[in-house]
């Protein structure tokens, strides 16, 4: 009987701890024709509550063949681990250029409407993204078991994106107005997801918000004027893992977790505001755990770690405390 009581107590403690944390996997820059053991690891070992797909979820580059985009997504669907993830976690999805349809493309991409409809259907987002929507942006307010509200804001930096330049715009006016409304909704933490990097400064050879006119400044100003606290940027595009920080950019410090290249890697660029990385693990499983309440060791925080799935070893880690992001 004593052993039964111990087991019950352990179960209750574990359940309370689970309610006070939320686990999120980050997936992106996935080469659909190569093996992707991280998908199985995330599905079977990590078992996240949510999966953020940050873009380049497949490489489907084409100028005139929409069926080619569908075919590449079908390859993703057939990968070991994908259906388990879809069944057992909640997907939050945006795209970047290669699953939008063509490298570095924006509003002038000729198949953007066909690509949007394929995206809506494949990712089962018909309820979140209306058929006549000017892009694939959407947001969700997710109530956690402990009553906390986690907001996912999935930006579309492709459908209305201008070519790079001093007067370029990342989102389009409809998406800007929508974003302002979303930022005014009550939430305990906000994850803003962009396919390419927000805090990456110029000069850089990579795509970045800083290359799109006043878009980044407008984004920062919008977060300030709406008094949206607890914003963290989640981005992709590069084939490694890093965390960037821009001090007091949002009225509090701005953090960006860039985690992609789930089955590939590349030579990293220099960053003047990198505070973690670059982590060049090829088959990686990046994970965020949100600790909503104080633990024995730490105040409420976001704990990021990256796992090399072939060894199961942790390759990098970082904590962002809620107090650092205006909370």
Measured distance CA(100)–CA(59) in Å, rounded: 9
Work out the average pLDDT over 122-138.
Answer: 97
**How confident is the model at residue 16, as a pLDDT?**
43
**How confident is the model at residue 18, as a pLDDT?**
56
CATH superfamily of 25-325: Alkaline phosphatase D (PhoD) (3.60.21.70)
**How confident is the model at residue 269, as a pLDDT?**
87
**Read out DSSP for 102-150?**
STT--TT-TTHHHHHHHHHHHTT-TTTS-TT-SSS-EEEEEE-TTS-EE
Please tell me the pTM assigned to this model. Answer: 0.94
**How confident is the model at residue 7, as a pLDDT?**
38
Q: Where are the domains of the chain?
A: 25-325
Work out the average pLDDT over 78-84.
Answer: 97
| Structure confidence by residue, pLDDT tens digits, 217-275 | 999 999 999 999 999 999 999 999 999 999 999 999 999 999 999 999 999 988 999 99
**How confident is the model at residue 50, as a pLDDT?**
98
**How confident is the model at residue 323, as a pLDDT?**
97
**How confident is the model at residue 295, as a pLDDT?**
84
| Structure confidence by residue, pLDDT tens digits, 141-157 | 999 999 999 999 999 99
Work out the average pLDDT over 284-289.
Answer: 98
pLDDT cut 70: percent of the chain above it: 94
Strand partners, 192: 153, 233
């Amino acid at each position: 009987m004593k052993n039964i009581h111990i087991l019950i107590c352990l179960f209750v403690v574990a359940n309370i701890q689970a309610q006070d944390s939320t686990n999120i996997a980050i997936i992106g820059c996935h080469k659909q024709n190569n093996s992707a053991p991280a998908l199985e690891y995330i599905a079977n070992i990590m078992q996240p509550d949510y999966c953020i797909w940050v873009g380049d979820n497949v490489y489907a580059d084409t100028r005139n063949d929409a069926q080619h985009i569908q075919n590449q997504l079908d390859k993703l669907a057939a990968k070991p681990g994908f259906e388990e993830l879809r069944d057992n976690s909640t997907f939050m999805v945006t795209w970047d250029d290669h699953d939008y349809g063509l490298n570095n493309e924006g509003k002038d991409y000729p198949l953007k409407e066909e690509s949007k409809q394929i995206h809506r259907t494949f990712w089962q987002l018909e309820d979140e993204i209306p058929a006549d929507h000017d892009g694939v942006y959407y947001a969700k307010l997710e109530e956690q078991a402990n009553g906390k509200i986690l907001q996912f804001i999935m930006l579309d930096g492709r459908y209305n994106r201008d070519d790079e330049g001093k007067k370029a715009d990342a989102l389009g006016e409809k998406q800007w107005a929508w974003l302002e409304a979303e930022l005014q909704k009550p939430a305990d933490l906000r994850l803003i997801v962009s396919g390419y990097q927000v805090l990456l400064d110029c000069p850089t050879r990579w795509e970045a918000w800083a290359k799109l006119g006043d878009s980044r400044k407008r984004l920062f100003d919008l977060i300030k004027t709406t008094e949206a606290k607890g914003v963290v940027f989640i981005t992709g595009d590069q084939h490694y893992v890093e965390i960037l920080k821009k001090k007091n950019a949002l009225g509090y410090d701005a953090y960006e977790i860039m985690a992609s290249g789930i089955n590939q890697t590349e030579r990293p660029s220099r960053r003047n505001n990198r505070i973690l990385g670059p982590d060049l693990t090829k088959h990686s499983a990046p994970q965020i755990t949100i600790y909503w309440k104080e633990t024995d060791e730490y105040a409420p925080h976001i704990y990021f770690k990256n796992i090399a799935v072939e060894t199961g070893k942790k390759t990098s880690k970082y904590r962002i405390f809620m107090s650092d992001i205006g909370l």
